[in-house]
Structure 1
C-alpha cells in the first residue's frame, strides 16, 4: 500500500483517482491547488504524488519546484496539455511521468505500480556503498549524488535512474527497448520519445561529460566509461 497525494482543482478528477487508488489498497490524500500540495509535502512524506498543471494559486510546475526542495517522491504530471514543450519542462523540474487528460484510471494505476517497483528496486540496489569516478564525474550510488568537477548537479529522480543504469552497464550497447523497460518498467505505457528527452536533459546537466553518452543510431545508447 502506498500513500498518494492527488493534486487537482477538479473535485471529480480527485474523486475518480481516489476511487481506483483505494480499490488497489492505497491511502489517498487530496490537495485542491499547488499551495496546499506544497504545504502538505512539507508536513508529510508521500510515496507518490499526482500533480495537475493548470490550477489556481500555484500551478503544477511551480509546485513541483517547491516540492523538490523537500521531497524526492516520484511525481506524475496530470494535465490536458500534451505539447512536447510542457513535457520537457515537466521533466526539467523533476517530474517522473506525464499523463494527458482524458486518461484511463486503470492505466494510471499501472503507471503508479511501475514507478514504485523501480523505486523499491533502486533502494535494494543501493544497500551497499558504491561510487563511480570518471575524471571529474563522480556518482555516489548510495547517496544518490552526482558531482561534476566538484559541483553537485541536481538531477530529477528519473534522470538519476537512467544515468545510474547506463553507468552500471557502461560500454554495453543498450537498446531503446531495454532502457525503457529497465528504467521506466515493463508496464510503461508512455511515448518512447520520453527516453530521448531524458537523454537530452542528462547530457546538458553533465556538461562536458555528456559526450560519454553515445547515440547508437537505430539501436539506442551506450555510456562509454
Structure 2
C-alpha cells in the first residue's frame, strides 16, 4: 500500500535542499555566540553521560553543527534530517558521525533504542495537527528515563520566509507557546523538568524556548515527583 506523504514534509525538504549551502555558511559558528544554547546542550550531555551513556540522536540535524557539538561533548551521536542535501553537507563536515535522511513522523529507530534525543528547532515546520504524532515518536524511541531536549521560537503567528539568499522557495516557520509544547510532551508520556525562555538577541524576531523532558513509563502518566 502506498502512503501519501504530508504536503508540509515535501515543502520543507524542497526549501532546505535549496538553501542548504547558504544555511550552513550562515549558521556554522552561531553556537559560539550562544551561551544559553551551549548550556542546555551541556546539561543534556551530562544527563546522558551520568545515566550510563548510549546512542543519542539529533532529529532535524541540518548540516550537523549541533550534532558535531554533541560529539565534541563526548556523546555517541547520530543525525537525521528530512533534506538529503543537508545530510550530504553534514556527512562532509563530520565524516565520523552517521547521518541519514528521515522524518520526525516516522523515526528509523527501534522502541527504546535511544539514550537521548535533541530536536533543535525541528518542530517549527510541523503543523499543529501532526505534532502529537511527532511527540509519540519521541517517546517511542527513547529509553525509559532518557532525556529529550527541544528548542523552538516562542509565539503564535507563523513567520513566512520567501526567497532566502535568492532561492525561489517559501516556507512557514511556526512559533509555539511553551505551555502548549509542554502539554504535548506530557500527553505523550514525557515529564518536563526544565523550561527556559530568553528574550530575542541580535537579529532574532521572537523569544527562544528550550524544554528538557524525560521519558515516563506510560503516555499521559508522568513519572517521578509530582506525577500521579
* TM-score of the alignment, normalized to the shorter chain, above 0.5: no
Report which of the two has the higher share of helix: 1
The two structures have a TM-score, normalised by structure 1, of 0.32
Structure with bigger RCO (C-alpha 8 Å, 6+ apart): 2
The two structures have a TM-score, normalised by structure 2, of 0.32
